[in-house]
């Protein structure tokens, strides 16, 4: 697998994109994104587990079932959530406007929205924006598209990889947004992947769900699961490799690339958590079951007390052990070891469920780092899991205390 230095979704064969401002954001920044496959494509998706689902989520949950998916329209600055029947009609209207301009069916268009909840979508701006953006689709529009989906993000999140399948170069590329309201089971995040691999819809759905469960569903910024979360993948077959319709070596090659892209995007979201100063990675080893290891990893990464401790650069290992204890995983506290790691150093803070003596000066050097690994050995089996998140800072409260303004 080759990781491209200048990622863009338009490096995928047959994919064009654009990103413009249609006036939804007060700042005047880009707020409308369109991505289009020139060839017919299949799609798979995962969606928020929140019972309050935004209208675009409901529309896309239906449309992703279609045998052909060729376009994705996204607006930022307005979530189109909790707007009743009018919001649903507006989401449908967005698919209809795209379909009319691109000469495809409305059911072949997916729609996403992100931003403030409860504000009616200004459809006059959306209508003129869609008419304009459909004329701007190009092979140079990938970066603009990545920028147009952002809300409180501080940087665009993009990754592109290539691999060889049947002597054909297959490209897989993704963009994502997410900074706050991030929690396992889909977070306030949009993840969108595009590939030219030739694969069956059934297999794509299967491997995509598995990958999302181990990547996007293992990140947390603040414990809130949003109304608009969605992760989509489209595959148009333009690479012309032999159809992957069974679990074989070619599928494993593509799965490895898919997991890498999803994991990278997930970590970028965690790193860009609102007000974050540190990326936290939790590695749980030797759990009794995969579920147990995941429960422990998620419990630690969602513990606000633990996150605050890392912001304060305080080696308060008791908060980590506490989070493990209420995780509901099957484990024995008296067996657990915990290490805090940076790229250069590792210090054990817990052995067999009890604290050990360590140098406060040495551990401070680890806690000053921008990326910290929390290694937990349950010594209870052979199953591992990872989760990603960030510290919780004063700036998080400031950002979310004035989000609407």
In this prediction, residue 392 carries a pLDDT of 83
Considering the domain architecture, whether residues 6 and 111 belong to the same structural domain is answered as: yes
Residues of the chain with pLDDT under 50: 181-188, 222-224, 405
Considering the domain architecture, whether residues 283 and 267 belong to the same structural domain is answered as: no
Report d(CA 97, CA 92) in Å as an integer: 9
- Write out the two tokens for 36: 């289009």
Report d(CA 137, CA 213) in Å as an integer: 32
Considering the domain architecture, whether residues 45 and 173 belong to the same structural domain is answered as: yes
From 337, 376, 374, select the one nearest 353 (Cα to Cα). 337
Q: How far is CA 273 from CA 144, 177, 219, 270, in A?
A: 22, 11, 10, 5
Considering the domain architecture, whether residues 218 and 113 belong to the same structural domain is answered as: yes
Q: Which helix (H) or strand (E) holds 271?
A: helix 249-271
In this prediction, residue 228 carries a pLDDT of 75
Last residue of a domain, one of 214, 248, 271: 271
In total, the chain counts a number of residues equal to 405
In this prediction, residue 226 carries a pLDDT of 60
Cβ pair 287, 384 in contact under 8 A: yes
Considering the domain architecture, whether residues 323 and 255 belong to the same structural domain is answered as: no
3-state secondary structure of 316: coil
Q: Give the active site residue among 152, 160, 188, 302.
A: 188
Considering the domain architecture, whether residues 126 and 94 belong to the same structural domain is answered as: yes
The label of the residue with tokens 């090659």 reads 253
Distance from CA of residue 35 to its chain's centroid? Answer: 18
Considering the domain architecture, whether residues 329 and 252 belong to the same structural domain is answered as: no
Report d(CA 223, CA 244) in Å as an integer: 38
In this prediction, residue 275 carries a pLDDT of 67
Does residue 188 carry a catalytic annotation? Answer: yes
Last residue of a domain, one of 271, 297, 327: 271
In this prediction, residue 181 carries a pLDDT of 46
Considering the domain architecture, whether residues 193 and 338 belong to the same structural domain is answered as: no
Report d(CA 315, CA 20) in Å as an integer: 45
CATH number for 329: 3.10.20.340
3-state secondary structure of 129: helix
3-state secondary structure of 72: strand
Considering the domain architecture, whether residues 212 and 265 belong to the same structural domain is answered as: yes
Considering the domain architecture, whether residues 241 and 357 belong to the same structural domain is answered as: no
**First-last CA distance in the chain:** 44
Last residue of a domain, one of 215, 237, 271: 271
Considering the domain architecture, whether residues 231 and 356 belong to the same structural domain is answered as: no
Considering the domain architecture, whether residues 259 and 284 belong to the same structural domain is answered as: no
Domain count, the chain: 2
What domain range includes position 236?
Answer: 2-271
Task: Note the maximum CA span of the chain.
Answer: 68
pLDDT in tens, 248-288: 999 999 999 999 999 999 989 888 766 678 999 999 999 99
CATH number for 12: 3.60.70.12
Q: Which helix (H) or strand (E) holds 98?
A: helix 84-102
């Amino acid at each position: 697998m080759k990781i491209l230095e200048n990622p863009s979704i338009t490096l995928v064969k047959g994919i064009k994109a654009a990103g413009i401002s249609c006036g939804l954001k007060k700042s005047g920044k880009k707020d409308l994104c369109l991505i289009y496959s020139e060839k017919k494509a299949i799609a798979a998706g995962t969606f928020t587990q929140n019972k309050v689902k935004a209208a675009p989520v409901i529309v896309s949950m239906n449309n992703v079932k279609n045998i052909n998916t060729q376009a994705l329209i996204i607006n930022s600055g307005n979530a189109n959530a909790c707007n009743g029947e009018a919001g649903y009609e507006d989401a449908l209207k967005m698919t209809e406007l795209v379909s009319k301009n691109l000469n495809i069916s409305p059911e072949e268009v997916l729609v996403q929205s992100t931003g403030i909840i409860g504000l009616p979508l200004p459809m006059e701006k959306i209508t003129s924006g869609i008419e304009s953006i459909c004329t701007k689709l190009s092979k140079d529009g990938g970066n603009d598209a990545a920028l147009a989906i952002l809300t409180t993000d501080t940087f665009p999140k993009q990754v592109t990889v290539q691999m060889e399948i049947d002597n054909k170069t297959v490209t897989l590329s993704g963009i994502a947004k997410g900074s706050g309201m991030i929690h396992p089971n889909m977070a306030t995040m949009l993840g969108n992947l595009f590939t030219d691999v030739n694969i069956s819809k059934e297999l794509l759905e299967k491997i995509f769900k598995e990958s999302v469960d181990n990547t996007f569903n293992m990140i947390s910024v603040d414990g809130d699961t949003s109304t608009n979360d969605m992760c989509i993948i489209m595959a148009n077959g333009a690479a012309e490799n032999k159809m992957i319709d069974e679990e074989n070596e070619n599928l494993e090659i593509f799965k490895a690339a898919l997991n890498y892209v999803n994991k990278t995007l997930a970590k970028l979201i965690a790193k860009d958590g609102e007000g974050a100063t540190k990326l936290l990675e939790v590695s749980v080893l030797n759990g009794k079951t995969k579920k147990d290891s995941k429960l422990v990893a998620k419990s630690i990464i969602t513990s606000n007390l633990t996150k605050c401790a890392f912001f304060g650069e305080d080696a308060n290992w008791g908060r980590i052990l506490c989070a493990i204890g209420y995780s509901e995983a099957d484990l024995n506290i008296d067996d657990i070891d915990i290490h805090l790691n940076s790229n250069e150093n590792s210090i054990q803070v817990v052995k067999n469920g009890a604290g050990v003596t360590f140098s406060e000066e040495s551990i401070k050097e680890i806690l000053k780092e921008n990326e910290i690994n929390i290694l937990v050995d349950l010594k209870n089996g052979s199953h591992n899991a990872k989760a990603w998140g960030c510290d919780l800072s004063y700036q998080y409260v400031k950002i979310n205390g004035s989000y609407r303004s």
